[in-house]
Chains A and B, each alone.
Chain A
Amino acid sequence: MNPFALSFLILGLGLIGWLTARARALRFDRGGAKRLHSLPAQHGWFVAMWTMLPPLLFLVVWSAVTPGLVRQTVLQSPAAAGLSDFAFERDSVLAQAREVARNPFDTEADPLARKLAPVVRDARSRYAWTGAIAAILLAFAGAVFALSRIRADFRARSKVERTLMMGLLVASLIAILTTLGIFASLFWESTRFFGQVPITQFLFGTHWSPQVIDAKNPGASLGAVPLFWGTFFIGAVIAMLVAIPFGLMSAVYLTQYASATTRRWMKPTLEMLAGVPTVVYGYFAALTVAPAVRKLAVALGDQFASSESALAAGLVMGVMIIPFVSSMADDSLAAVPSSMRDGSLAMGATTSETISRVLIPAALPGVVAGVLLAVSRAIGETMIVVMAASGAATITLNPLQSATTVTKQIVDLLTGEAEFDSPKTLAAFALGLTLFVITLLLNIVALRVVKRYREAYD
């Protein structure tokens, strides 16, 4: 039976269960001496859940165990007698048999596989039917059990609430577990990498050229310092030189000078910058800013200036994170009690003196936290550097030269033909892990600072 049809059938049964339960509960409501504890619809949900959840859970488990069962059956069938004893060959034939079972006109398959294919098909459909029938029986059993429990004083509401709560808990755990899973896989692949390349060579080596790797000493061309430098230079220096002053100034303007009307349209507009897809910034960097920067470099006397420069990527990245800095700075300026401002103005300070001598120092922790978050965002940013920075891993202080970043190199390492356990590919995971750890630390520090600061003014 088609899994979609089956799911619909179960949903249909759930609906019928819901309607029946509600009707029953309503009858109690009218005829009964006692008041219903829960609303009729809640009884409906109670029954619907009992009707649908057990078979659906069962189907999930069943679909996970079915391939194993099918394999077991096929191996025990008489047609399997001709199979090789070598696990590798046997698995290959079985895989082909599964292919043929799906597509009988695959004529290139192994003859033994063609012979096994009908067995596979039979076993599959048998287990599918068994599962479907069991699921439907479960649905009925659940419905009957739940319906039998409906009484006037039955606490359907709390049962439904509890189930919903469990559902929400599972949903929130999934996000956390996924993060942990990603971290674990990064960590695992990285340990494989560090099995081939010493960690010190990777972290402190200054030569990066994954295109030419010496098989005997792969670490020699996998020193990540140029990438760390490029990332730092583009994301934490150039981008911040743009984002901090502009973000701070716009926050000061919005909180201290702008009229309520100006603030009402300007703040959302600024925040909209944060919603622009980064690929759009990438275009802007590659097509508009990079050529302009190149012209500048040529005008400054560098005839062979590359069109890909750290400056172009960094400038655009800075614009991209202005809203982060400005909205954090805005929040922390707004959190400074207005009595500070009044106190300073009453001393005869001008507005700008008040801002620079009292408000910004008082809001500094929040601003610093905003900057840290912005840095962590900037160094994880990929699209802009992929489109506007080059792959040349140089350590330079000249913003007009090209530079590369960790993210850009990860993309380069994983695109193109990749062998899965060459040091070159595995290096991508090590880079990813490093980036992950750094951004995590930045975020933790920033959140701590913000928290400490909140407590200070409560």
Chain B
Amino acid sequence: MTAPSPAPHKMSARDVSVFYGDNHAVRGVSIDIDMDKVTAFIGPSGCGKSTFLRTFNRMNDTIASARVTGEITLDGEDIYSPNMDVVQLRARVGMVFQKPNPFPKSIFENVAYGPRIHGLASSKTDLEGIVERSLKRAGLWEEVKDRLSDSGTALSGGQQQRLCIARAIAVDPEVILMDEPASALDPIATAKIEELIHELRGRYAIVIVTHNMQQAARVSQRTAFFHLGHLVEYGETDNLFTAPREERTKDYITGRYG
């Protein structure tokens, strides 16, 4: 299934399968991710959304039993080729997790973590500038600017998640992967995250996994529906929700099963 846009794609997956031992979790999925767009992955629990998402920054490498086949490219370059440096890849393709996972360090150190390990800041002022910019972009600056040395784990859940987003964008990635970033948050914090995704769009290619179809409809321009490891349907979000081509998609978005 190819994407509607003819322009060169930021990331492309071709016939990607993921196995956990004998469990064939993702089955021959092909998809294109573009800059300036938010792509949503939806589908019932256990259909392989997270697993597929993690192939884009090779986080499945950290699971001993996981095996990936097929091809995924970033700007046309195969990310699973031996020439690809995982450290570089993950600096270009950042990730935000379902449960906020700030490090048990200060707010400042959380955001400075990436720039430090990738050597992005040449001086202390430089680093401070990066931290401030990232926190501003993540919409957290006003709330924490007076207590940057407090522990990141002392923030509220929603603040923690925005801190994790700030941490991810501090290394200036090109793609941001978000796995149900708002599912552990209350409606107000969720609204803030969605607003933030709107603002980040255009600067990054964003892929978001969500269980919440209203959320997918609100934040994304493209939606992919997965079922039992297959990519069932992929298209413009408006079309997919108003006129799904596949029966299974229709059943899912009308809440017939889930």
Contact = CB atoms under 8 A, between A and B. Distances in A.
B240 to A, nearest CB: 28
Interface of A: 259, 337, 339-350, 353, 357-358, 361-362, 456
Given A347-B167, A350-B87, A357 B57 contact: no
Contacts of B167: 343, 347
List 10 A-B pairs, minimum CB-CB distance, nearest first.
Answer: A348-B90, A339-B101, A346-B95, A348-B91, A343-B101, A347-B114, A348-B87, A362-B104, A349-B117, A358-B103
A357 B113 CA distance: 9
A342 B54 CA distance: 11
Given A353-B117, A361-B104, A342 B62 contact: yes
A453 to B, nearest CB: 11
Given A357-B113, A357-B117, A346 B94 contact: yes
B97 interface: yes
26 contacts: A259-B64, A337-B101, A339-B99, A339-B101, A340-B103, A340-B104, A343-B101, A345-B59, A345-B62, A346-B59, A346-B168, A347-B94, A347-B113, A347-B117, A347-B167, A348-B86, A348-B90, A348-B91, A348-B117, A348-B118, A348-B171, A349-B87, A349-B117, A353-B117, A361-B103, A362-B103
Interface of B: 57, 59, 62, 64, 86-91, 94-95, 97, 99, 101-105, 113-114, 117-118, 164, 167-168, 171
A456 B171 CA distance: 29
Query: What DSSP secondary structure best describes chain A's contact surface?
Result: helix
Contacts, number: 64
A343 B94 contact: no
A341 B59 CA distance: 11
Nearest to B177: A346
A264 to B, nearest CB: 14
A343 B103 contact: yes
A347 B171 contact: yes
A347 B102 CA distance: 12
A34 to B, nearest CB: 55
Given A339-B99, A348-B86, 18 more contacts: A343-B97, A345-B59, A345-B62, A346-B57, A346-B168, A347-B91, A347-B94, A347-B114, A347-B117, A347-B171, A348-B91, A348-B114, A348-B118, A350-B87, A361-B103, A361-B104, A361-B105, A456-B104
